[in-house]
Chain A
Amino acid sequence: MNILIALSFLGGLTLLLAFLIFIANRFLYVYEDPRIDKVNELLPQANCGACGYPGCRPFAEALVGGEVLPGKCTVSSEEGRMSIAQYLGVGLGNEEKKVARLACAGGKNVATKKANYWGLETCQAAALVSGGGKSCFWGCLGFGDCERVCDFDAISMDRFGIPLVDASKCTACGDCVDVCPKDLFSLQPLSNRLWVACKNLEKGEAVLEECEVGCTACGKCAMDAPQLIEMKNNLPVIEYGKGPQKPEAIDRCPTGSIVWWAEDSQFVKGKESKKVIRVGER
């Protein structure tokens, strides 16, 4: 008798629930474009937000909805973008690859300290204590917040505490741009070869006391490339697109603060820039 009660109760219960779910599935079914899942699978699932959407799935929805083209995703490989474009029958819409560039070159071998900072080993924390320990208020603090925040292992700190960006791994997601308390990172197209690796707004000797590779605002680069470079607030500002970029513009820079990206991840300094003599921690 007991077994009958158990069987019928459980049987009835499960049948009832199955029926309920069946009905619910009928009335509450939400149509989702099956292509969204497929496109989502083809995306890198990095959820980095470089495309301007919250994550890969919202981007896939936008792709299927025809709002954007696959080229917006800078993380996926060329083949990945191609396969999405073929699957959806749309153009590739390639965007030029961007990389994060650091506007500072003052490692601890060349930049002086005004104070010793003791505390949380992060740039964000150090920047709160009167701007960190470096003499140069604008300079890189070197605790590697950008290295930690990078999801793609593209940033590594060199032995002088300056982040190096591996352009082949950088996806231009912008995480390092957001995390840097000194706003030193910016996303630049790879074709922007000319670059000012300094943000110090002082000029002349005042700069050299703080950093050997700082921009002294002598203006020689602006004279050598008059259309392209303009001096603003004691810093050269490069107006990309206003003229052809030539490596000659950096030749007369005395401190080597304006540089030329000869390769994607490696820059060269001008011929006349003085060699950094003092090497090692101070």
Chain B
Amino acid sequence: MNTDSLGYIFISASLINNFVLAYFLGICPFLGVSGKIGTASKMGAAVTFVMLISSICAYTIHYLLLRINAPYLQLISYIVVIASTVQLVEMFIKKMSPALFRALGIFLPLITTNCAILGLALFQTSKDYDMIQSVIYALGAGTGFTLALVLMAGLREQLDLADVPKLIKGTALVLLVAGILSLAFMGFSGLGNQ
């Protein structure tokens, strides 16, 4: 399978190299916001949205940096640009749709410093994706993130009812489940190799 095709990029980012369960990026919201399916899917949507924006920004910055022959500024410029773009988007949403702003709430500013976002920007640069590929890659990564979060939230909602030993109740149990989920996602690793 052609590894540059858009379909492959999407599947690869969402399942095979899932940001949370294969790269272990963005573990903080994965553990923190996976208590309820409702908030988990909202958080996933917000992350996907920020990923899309930062992917476009990163592509533009990378292009500019290559022009002036200063690729060593990549990391620091990504951080600055992503943070301020999200800030701008937040202001825009607050003005245009207070309801959406309240729904995303604290998540938006928190996502800005999420390592999954920066990871996405760095990966897409190192893989030399063009504009459309970058956007698809961000979409795939966001979908994968949402999938991991919603799966985890569903499991945790069921686990709340389960009779588990007191010793592993709470975070320990969540980490155990995260490990098992991650193992399950490792099963995708052969996908597309034939």
Contacts and interface: CB of A to CB of B under 8 A. Distances in A.
B68 interface: yes
Nearest to B77: A13
A21 B70 contact: no
A122 B161 contact: yes
A14 B69 CA distance: 19
B161 A6 contact: no
Interface in B46-64: none
A267 interface: no
B161 A120 contact: yes
A121 interface: yes
B94 interface: yes
Contact of A28 (B65, B68, B92): B92
B90 to A, nearest CB: 10
B183 interface: no
Given A6-B73, A10-B73, A13-B77, A30 B84 contact: no
B80 A13 contact: yes
A277 B72 CA distance: 85
A121 B163 contact: yes
A279 interface: no
A28 B88 CA distance: 9
B81 A21 contact: no
A24 interface: yes
Given A28-B95, A30-B94, A30-B95, A14 B80 contact: yes
B106 interface: no
B87 interface: yes
A17 interface: yes
Given A5-B68, A9-B77, A21-B84, 5 more contacts: A10-B73, A21-B88, A24-B91, A30-B94, A30-B98
Interface of A: 2, 5-6, 9-10, 13-14, 17-18, 20-21, 24-25, 28-30, 120-122, 125
24 contacts: A2-B70, A5-B70, A6-B72, A6-B73, A9-B65, A9-B70, A9-B73, A9-B77, A10-B76, A10-B77, A13-B77, A13-B80, A17-B80, A17-B81, A18-B84, A20-B84, A21-B88, A28-B94, A28-B95, A30-B95, A30-B98, A120-B163, A121-B163, A122-B161
